[in-house]
């Protein structure tokens, strides 16, 4: 297949959009075979079907590299109660917060969890997403963590989308282990990781390193098991306070350190040295009305690749729009539209170790977005508008 009359943003390196004004893209099977100026298309690529894109913008298909799209119920009632003046304590006493999502996820069937997750996945696909990372972490017991991961795997058979799973047993301490965090790590989290890995359900291992969750020593115990199993790690780090998670992630050569609002310049340096991606989550920053912005300028200075994701979850980021995440990253974090686009394509791919996508280059997977816009900055500029014209997934329109 040959795509012609395309305005291509190749993102072939990190220094610009890599724009080709009168461009063409040749696709063979599920791979990009050639990209360049329309005038230069080799004759061998002119034999198949041609699609005239009417001068529209083409970018790599989008990647949401940090989500919790599999969960039971939602927390809208709690949101409403809070805005009507209920205190955090009252909500907790009424069974609200993360514990309520754990209870709803434990109670839900696989079919129900999948049906609910697909409503969110469909919203992402409608904006051109082709790869989603999905975390466990609302089960916090072996049965439910495995159930969440099985559901995450089923998404890819139910929809034309790729899934990477992350085991997030170290997300919160479940009610039955309150005050016994170390016992939870040793008796539930680590054995569950091993069981999930044995079932082929885990692509990476994640944790929530925070005063209200797990400390660096507890996360390190989980990461040591990940290393033994040959699994890459990533970490929720420095979201609400500085607790050393970024440095720990760098020490383990993590794929990514996520949130990182409270990371320091020295942390940025450590990430750069380790080749770890900083994943920024403006939806959570917005929802929690945070005021501490991530150290964008330090990441730039040290050459830390920055990715962007929805962090779609029922508590701190009930967001299913990567385009809105791009706008929020520009307005709230002062990222540039180019950084935002790299953040949901090439750098998001790096945050997942998915190196065959995120840029329009020969041999990459043929996953593309065709947009009804004339310049890529429009993707981050507009608010609540979806200009997707077509999504091409594995070479198919």
Which residues of the chain form contacts with ligand DI6 (CB under 6 A)?
A: 98, 101, 171, 208, 236, 239, 284, 313-316
Position 210 contacts Fe ion (CB under 5 A): no
Which of residues 33 and 209 has its CB atom nearest to Fe ion in the complex?
209
Distance of closest approach, residue 281 Cβ to ligand DI6, in angstroms: 8
Distance of closest approach, residue 280 Cβ to ligand DI6, in angstroms: 13
Token pair for residue 331?
């307005």
Distance of closest approach, residue 326 Cβ to ligand DI6, in angstroms: 20
Which among 259, 255, 268 has a CA at the least distance from the CA of 350?
255
Q: With contacts defined by CB under 5 A, name the span among 70-78, 137-145, 308-316, 384-392 that binds Fe ion.
A: 308-316
Which of residues 7 and 135 has its CB atom nearest to Fe ion in the complex?
135
Distance of closest approach, residue 18 Cβ to ligand DI6, in angstroms: 34
Which of residues 145 and 311 has its CB atom nearest to Fe ion in the complex?
311
Which among 74, 1, 82, 84 has a CA at the least distance from the CA of 35?
1
243 binds, options ligand DI6, Fe ion, none, Cβ within 5 to 8 A by partner type: none
Judged on CB neighbours under 10 Å (0-12, 13-18, 19+), 339 is buried
315 binds, options ligand DI6, Fe ion, none, Cβ within 5 to 8 A by partner type: ligand DI6
Which among 18, 48, 11 has a CA at the least distance from the CA of 33?
48
Residues in the chain: 397
| Residue ranges in the chain assigned as alpha helix (H) | 76-83, 88-93, 98-107, 110-125, 142-158, 181-184, 190-198, 216-229, 245-251, 265-274, 282-287, 296-302, 322-333, 337-343, 346-351, 377-381
Which of residues 136 and 239 has its CB atom nearest to ligand DI6 in the complex?
239
Q: Which of 311, 367, 371, 392 binds Fe ion (CB under 5 A)?
A: 311
98 binds, options Fe ion, ligand DI6, none, Cβ within 5 to 8 A by partner type: ligand DI6
Which among 325, 324, 327, 351 has a CA at the least distance from the CA of 337?
327
The residues binding Fe ion (CB under 5 A) are 311
């Amino acid at each position: 297949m040959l795509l012609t009359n395309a305005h291509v943003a190749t993102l072939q390196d990190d220094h610009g959009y890599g724009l080709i004004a009168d461009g063409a893209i040749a696709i063979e099977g599920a791979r990009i075979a050639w990209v360049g100026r329309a005038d230069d298309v080799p004759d061998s690529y002119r034999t198949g079907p041609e699609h005239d894109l009417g001068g529209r913008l083409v970018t790599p298909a989008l990647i949401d590299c940090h989500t919790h799209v599999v969960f039971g119920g939602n927390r809208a009632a709690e949101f409403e109660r809070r805005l009507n003046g209920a205190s955090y304590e009252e909500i907790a006493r009424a069974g609200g917060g993360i514990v309520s999502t754990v209870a709803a996820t434990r109670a839900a069937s696989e079919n129900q969890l999948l049906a609910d997750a697909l409503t969110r996945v469909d919203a992402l696909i409608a904006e051109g997403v082709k790869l989603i990372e999905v975390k466990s972490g609302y089960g916090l017991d072996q049965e439910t963590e495995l159930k969440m991961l099985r559901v995450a795997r089923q998404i890819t058979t139910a929809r034309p989308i790729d899934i990477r799973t992350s085991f997030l047993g170290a997300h919160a301490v479940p009610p039955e282990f309150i005050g016994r965090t170390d016992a939870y790590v040793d008796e539930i989290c680590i054995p569950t990781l091993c069981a999930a890995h044995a079932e082929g359900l885990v692509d990476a291992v994640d944790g929530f390193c925070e005063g209200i969750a797990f400390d660096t020593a507890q996360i390190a115990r989980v990461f040591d098991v990940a290393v033994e199993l040959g699994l890459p790690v990533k970490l929720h780090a420095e979201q609400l306070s500085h607790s050393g998670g970024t440095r720990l992630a760098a020490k383990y050569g993590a794929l990514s350190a996520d949130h990182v609002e409270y990371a320091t310049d020295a942390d940025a340096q450590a990430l750069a040295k380790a080749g770890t991606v900083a994943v920024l989550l403006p939806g959570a920053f917005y929802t929690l009305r945070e005021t501490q912005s991530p150290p964008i300028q330090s990441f730039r200075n040290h050459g830390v690749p920055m990715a962007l994701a929805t962090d779609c979850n029922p508590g701190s980021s009930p967001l299913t729009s990567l385009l809105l995440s791009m706008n929020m990253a520009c307005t709230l974090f002062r990222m540039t539209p180019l950084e935002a686009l790299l953040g949901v394509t090439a750098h998001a791919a790096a945050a997942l170790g998915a190196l065959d996508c995120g840029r329009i280059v020969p041999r990459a997977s043929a996953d593309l977005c065709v947009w009804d816009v004339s310049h890529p900055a429009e993707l981050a500029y507009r608010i609540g508008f979806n200009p997707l014209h077509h999504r091409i997934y594995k070479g198919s329109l």
